[in-house]
Amino acid sequence: MANISLLDMKKTKKRNVREAIISVLGRKFPLSIKKIYNEINKEYKLGVTYQAVFKLIKEMAEENMLDKIEKEYQLNMGWIKDLENELSIIKKNYTGEKPKEDSMQKRTNKFVSKLGPEIKEYAGKDKVCIIGVSGGGRIFGMALFKYLLREGINAKYFDINWIDQLSKGRALLKKEGVRSKKIILVDSEIYSGKTYEIVMAYMNKIKEKFNIKEIKFVVDRDVAGLADFSVTKI
């Protein structure tokens, strides 16, 4: 039997608009609402109106299924990770097999176990905003975000393709997302420190403008010795 991707639904006879949006953004991103509308009607011929697509995309963003970057949208990495976890549980239920914990999952668990209590203490009673800095940063950042929520911390999460957005000269953060909060930047590693320097330069530039309380950089592995919190310093 050929492998079937959850995102490849071109041959599926019945599908809904939400599935079509996920399928399109699984292959092309980020896209504006107009481009998403054009793509799903071209590929799936659902006959859906622009207004319906517009409303559904807004709802999916509110449900943290999608991230908005300026006027464009892409799938939320945290939602993708949750989907992977759900599929793992389904497989276990049907096969009786115990899912193997991969190396990244082990690292993530250790990351939260080691740094979670420290970050909770740092957050205190303040509102915090956790920002995933990279692909790995999204995974660790979302894990930390979920831990803080369970511990009763008032936290928000989003991630940004920092290097890509900065290279295009786009504005990254909106004041309503970070104003008067403690910012926790999360990445998987710091090696040369180049990404750290770029991100921190931008954050320090907007700190006073957005009345940001503090900015901390958190990583799993810190080779350059630049992070405020890390599991491993090499």
Q: What CATH number did the domain enclosing 30 receive?
A: 1.10.10.10
For residue 147, the model assigns a pLDDT of: 94
* CATH for 146: 3.40.50.2020
Q: pLDDT class for 221, splitting at 50, 70, 90?
A: very high
Do 114 and 228 reside in the same domain of the chain? yes
Confirm whether 210 is domain-assigned: yes
Do 67 and 155 reside in the same domain of the chain? no
Domain endpoint, select from 75, 92, 124: 75
Do 145 and 221 reside in the same domain of the chain? yes
Domain endpoint, select from 54, 75, 96: 75
Mean pLDDT check: name the lowest of 18-22, 171-175, 188-192, 216-220: 171-175
Angle at 56 between CA 52 and CA 58, to 5 degrees: 120
Count of Cβ atoms closer than 10 Å to residue 158 Cβ: 22
Confirm whether 193 is domain-assigned: yes
Question: Where is pLDDT greater, at 15 or 181?
Answer: 181
Do 40 and 155 reside in the same domain of the chain? no
pLDDT over 60 (residue 6): no
Do 209 and 142 reside in the same domain of the chain? yes
Confirm whether 60 is domain-assigned: yes
Do 216 and 122 reside in the same domain of the chain? yes
Backbone angles phi, psi at 12, to 5 degrees: -75, 130
Q: pLDDT class for 113, splitting at 50, 70, 90?
A: very high
Confirm whether 37 is domain-assigned: yes
Do 144 and 221 reside in the same domain of the chain? yes
Residue in 81, 84, 67, 79 with CA at minimum distance from that of residue 29: 67
Do 51 and 164 reside in the same domain of the chain? no
For residue 170, the model assigns a pLDDT of: 56
Q: Considering the entire predicted model, what is its pTM?
A: 0.58
Do 23 and 66 reside in the same domain of the chain? yes
Domain that holds residue 60: 17-75
Do 143 and 223 reside in the same domain of the chain? yes
Chain mean position to CA 64: 9
Do 128 and 219 reside in the same domain of the chain? yes
For residue 175, the model assigns a pLDDT of: 73
Do 145 and 227 reside in the same domain of the chain? yes
Confirm whether 87 is domain-assigned: no
For residue 5, the model assigns a pLDDT of: 47
**Residue percentage of the chain with pLDDT more than 90:** 41
Q: What is the mean pLDDT of the chain?
A: 84
Residue in 122, 120, 110, 124 with CA at minimum distance from that of residue 145: 120
Question: Which tens digits make up the pLDDT trace of 63-110?
Answer: 878 888 878 898 887 788 778 777 877 877 888 776 555 677 888 999
DSSP lists the bridge partners of residue 168 as none
Confirm whether 58 is domain-assigned: yes
Q: Into how many domains does the chain fold? A: 2
Question: Which tens digits make up the pLDDT trace of 120-166?
Answer: 999 999 999 999 887 778 889 999 999 999 999 999 988 776 655 55
Confirm whether 88 is domain-assigned: no
Confirm whether 94 is domain-assigned: no
